[in-house]
Amino acid sequence: MVRTADGVYAYRNSCPHTGAPMEWETDRFLDYSGALIQCGLHGAQFRIEDDYCFAGPCAGRYLRKVPIAIRDGMIIALEEITRRYD
Ligand code: FES
């Protein structure tokens, strides 16, 4: 899940390149600029707003969105999120 000035975005933690988890360290998914999602395994880079991969081994592919809702100030995932490779 990523919060920006434009909104909140949620994606499955699964890189379209191999299906591996994407974090560099626990709960760290963004590049050093904080403006891109970057896979920790081979460095694929994704735009936060639309999950499009524009650089790296899975260029042209997308992350899998997780639908969310904001209710009473809380962000709620509308489908189950697990730490499995899915
Ligand atoms: S597993 Fe993400 S770029 Fe290879």
Residue 40 Cα to ligand 1 midpoint, Å, equals 7
pLDDT, position 79: 85
Cα–Cα dist 84/68, whole Å: 19
Task: Judge whether residue 19 has pLDDT over 90.
Answer: yes
Ligand 1 atom nearest the C-alpha of 22 is 2
Residue with tokens 């709960």: 27
User: What confidence tens digit (pLDDT) does each residue in 41-86 have?
Assistant: 999 999 999 999 999 999 999 999 999 999 998 999 998 766 554 4
Average of per-residue pLDDT across 5-23: 95
Spacing, Cα 14 to ligand 1 middle (Å): 9
**What pTM does this model have?**
0.88
Ligand 1 atom with minimal separation from the 16 CA: 2
Query: Strand runs (DSSP E) across the chain, as ranges?
Result: 2-4, 7-9, 36-38, 45-47, 53-55, 68-71, 74-77
CA 71 – ligand 1 centroid, Å: 33
